[in-house]
Structure formats: structure tokens, C-alpha cells
């Protein structure tokens, strides 16, 4: 089972400053190993005042190491809203793109869902499902995020809606080109955890729409545009980050 503590930001118990050399704890060493950070490579670390810094790894052992802080980041690379993306598994290995770009847009978790019109479970190997977590890791490193999104294994649609990540969200939204406009109106401060569901090519079925509504989800419609599924995911995430996050 994955240790989700490894996905969390690396934290330093003290105040950081540019030019400071820091000793690394065993927990930080494990986090750097999870991120595949090697000596001379850079990583993001957070100090006790929630300041974000870039540091270069100088040395790394099994239980400790040393790093040099070389840059104070002007703002947090993490989204202020905790977004769980439920995305129907798309064909032609497009989930690799979805995972990468969703990571760049600040999602905290991706739940690939098996819906009526999505890729079937028996075809997941062809879609390189095994590569999705590492795609998120690489994207997190490239965009200097402090955390690494959790990438779940493909989950049946109904089971995903029963998961705590969906049921306990402050706002549940699904994309639907057949729904009536229901643009998000809640204030940013009222939404800390958000669940966003996007269907496959052809969208959700009528039964899936009813199930989403029964679980308290509201509709987001992208005007009159008909977008490819992977494009719709990214546009929807951008709109939600603009409404609730920091875009």
C-alpha cells in the first residue's frame, strides 16, 4: 500500500534562508527518494512559517543528508483548494496527458474512473495505467511543486462516488455539455476540498448523471463548445482554479 505521507510537501522544522545548509532527517530522505531526487538536483521544501524554498541536494545517505537552500519562492506552488479529479479513463493513452497537466494545474488527487463509456478494466494495460503515478511525479518535479498528487488505481464509477474524497468534498461538480448552466458561485473561503468529475468521449450516461445528482454534484457547462475529453478536463480545472483557487 502506498504511504501517502510521501506525497506531502517536505517540511523543515525551523526558518529557512537563502544560502543556508540544512541537515536532512530520515523522513525527508524518504521523501526525496520517493521523488527520485539525486545529489546536485533541486527540490522544494517548506519551512515552519509556510515559506517555500528551492534547495539543492548535496549529499544523501540512508538516514540523513545535506542540502543547500538557494532560492526563496515568491509564492506557494501549491493550490489553496484541494481538488480531487475523477476522470473517466480515456483511450489512446490520453490519461498520461491528463495526469501530467492536472498535476501542473494543482490537483491533489486523480481518481481514474471506469464508467459505461470509458476504457474497460481489461484494457488498462494498453493505456499504460502503471505509468500514471510516475507521470504525476515527473510533472510535480518539473513545475516545482512541493507535493506529489495521489494517483489512484482505476475505480468503478459508483464506487468512486462513495469514496470519502468525493462525499466529504465541500463542493462536488461534474462537467456535462447537456446540463443547464450552473456556474460555481460559492466563495473561495467556503471551498477547501473540491471534487470534479469528467466523463469520457460521449460524456456520462443518463444513469450516471442521476447518480451524480443524487450525490449532491452540480453541473458545470462550458458554453456551446464541444471539446475533446482531455481538453475539457483542463479547461474545467482552469475555471475551478480561477473560481476557488489562485489563478
Please provide the DSSP assignment of 3-28 as one string: -GGGGSPEE-SS---TT-EEEEPHHH
Same domain, 105 and 29: no
Q: What is the pLDDT of residue 35?
A: 97
pLDDT at 1 over 50: no
Same domain, 89 and 175: yes
User: Is residue 135 assigned to a domain?
Assistant: yes
Write out pLDDT tens, residues 66-97.
Answer: 999 999 999 999 999 999 999 999 999 999 99
Same domain, 120 and 234: yes
Domain count, the chain: 2
Mean pLDDT of the chain: 94
Of the residues 47, 72, 97, the one at which a domain ends:
72
Alpha carbon of 156 to those of 42, 43, 106, 131, 184: distances in Å? 38, 35, 24, 19, 26
Average pLDDT over residues 108-132: 98
Same domain, 220 and 135: yes
Of the residues 72, 99, 117, the one at which a domain ends:
72
Q: How far apart are CA 84 and CA 150, in angstroms?
A: 9
pLDDT at 206 over 60: yes
Write out pLDDT tens, residues 121-157.
Answer: 999 999 999 999 999 999 999 999 999 999 999 999 9
Q: What is the pLDDT of residue 152?
A: 98
Q: How far apart are CA 243 and CA 188, in angstroms?
A: 7
Kindly report the CATH number assigned to the domain that includes residue 39.
2.40.240.20
E-assigned strand segments in 100-209: 109-114, 150-151, 155-156, 171-175, 193-198
Q: What is the pLDDT of residue 89?
A: 98
Q: What is the pLDDT of residue 185?
A: 61
Question: Could you give the 3-state DSSP secondary structure of residue 60?
Answer: strand
Percent of all residues in the chain with a pLDDT value above 70, rounded to a whole number: 95
Kindly report the CATH number assigned to the domain that includes residue 196.
3.40.1280.10
Q: How far apart are CA 221 and CA 175, in angstroms?
A: 6
User: Is residue 88 assigned to a domain?
Assistant: yes
Alpha carbon dihedral 83, 87, 91, 92, in 10-degree steps, equals -10
Same domain, 137 and 234: yes
Same domain, 87 and 157: yes
Q: What is the pLDDT of residue 197?
A: 98
Same domain, 86 and 68: no
User: Is residue 77 assigned to a domain?
Assistant: no
Same domain, 160 and 236: yes
Average pLDDT over residues 168-173: 97
pLDDT at 188 over 80: no
Question: Is residue 176 within 8 Å of residue 203, measured between CB atoms?
Answer: yes
User: Is residue 239 assigned to a domain?
Assistant: yes
- The closest of 194, 175, 180 to 234, measured between CA atoms, is 175
Same domain, 100 and 206: yes
Write out pLDDT tens, residues 15-68.
Answer: 999 999 999 999 999 999 999 999 999 999 999 999 999 999 999 998 899 999
Question: Is residue 161 within 8 Å of residue 211, measured between CB atoms?
Answer: yes
Domain residue limits at 55: 4-72
Q: What is the pLDDT of residue 226?
A: 83
pLDDT at 181 over 60: no
Amino acid at each position: 500500500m502506498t504511504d501517502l505521507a510521501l506525497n506531502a510537501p517536505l517540511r523543515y522544522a525551523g526558518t529557512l534562508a537563502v544560502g543556508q545548509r540544512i541537515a536532512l532527517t530520515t523522513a525527508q530522505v524518504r521523501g526525496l527518494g520517493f521523488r527520485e531526487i539525486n545529489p546536485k538536483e533541486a527540490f522544494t521544501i517548506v519551512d515552519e512559517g509556510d515559506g517555500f524554498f528551492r534547495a539543492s541536494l548535496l549529499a544523501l545517505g540512508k538516514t540523513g543528508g545535506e542540502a543547500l537552500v538557494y532560492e526563496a519562492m515568491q509564492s506557494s506552488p501549491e493550490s489553496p483548494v484541494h481538488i480531487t479529479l475523477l476522470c473517466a479513463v480515456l483511450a489512446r493513452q490520453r490519461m498520461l496527458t491528463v495526469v501530467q497537466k492536472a498535476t501542473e494545474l494543482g490537483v491533489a488527487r486523480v481518481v481514474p474512473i471506469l464508467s459505461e463509456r470509458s476504457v474497460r478494466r481489461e484494457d488498462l494495460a494498453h493505456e499504460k495505467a502503471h505509468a500514471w503515478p510516475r507521470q504525476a511525479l515527473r510533472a510535480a518535479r518539473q513545475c516545482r511543486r512541493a507535493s506529489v498528487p495521489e494517483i489512484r488505481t482505476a475505480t468503478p464509477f459508483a464506487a468512486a462516488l462513495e469514496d470519502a474524497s468525493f462525499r466529504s468534498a465541500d463542493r462536488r461538480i461534474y462537467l456535462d455539455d447537456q446540463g443547464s448552466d450552473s456556474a460555481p458561485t460559492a466563495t473561495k473561503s467556503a471551498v477547501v476540498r473540491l471534487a470534479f468529475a469528467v466523463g469520457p468521449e460521449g460524456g456520462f450516461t443518463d444513469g450516471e448523471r442521476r447518480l451524480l445528482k443524487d450525490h449532491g454534484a452540480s453541473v458545470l457547462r462550458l458554453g456551446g463548445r464541444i471539446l475533446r475529453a482531455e481538453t475539457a478536463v483542463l479547461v474545467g480545472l482552469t475555471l475551478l482554479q480561477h473560481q476557488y483557487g489562485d489563478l
